[in-house]
Amino acid sequence: MKAEEFIKQRMKAICLQIEGVSMRYAFEKSSGWHIIEVTPETMRNVNEKYAELEWSFWKDFRINFPNENFLITEPHITHDMSNLIASESSRKNRIAPSFNAVS
């Protein structure tokens, strides 16, 4: 399995287990880093279950992809997310589709 697939699978698993979390993943070409942004920012500091899952995510990534650069962080203006690869959110964060009438 490639790093990209591993990250996407783990993001999906976390979002299925943690209500209220959203994650975005991009590969920053200029730095060569896999960047995962997590919102809300407080999720990483106050939710113990999330913290355990993030630690496991980070640890397993380092074991499986020791030559890859990886960052899990809050959104920041310095991250180049223009090469967005995936985004996931828990069910609570998903926006219901619009059913506006079309004329």
Q: Would you write out the chain's pLDDT as a tens digit for each of its 103 residues?
A: 899 999 999 999 999 999 999 999 999 999 999 999 999 988 888 899 999 999 999 999 999 999 999 999 999 888 888 999 999 998 765 544 433 444 4
Delimit the domains of the chain by residue range. 3-92
- For 3-92, CATH number? 3.30.70
Residue 80, C-beta contacts closer than 8 angstroms, at least 6 positions apart: 26, 28, 29, 30, 31, 35
pTM: 0.83
Residue among 97, 93, 100 at smallest CA distance from 21:
93
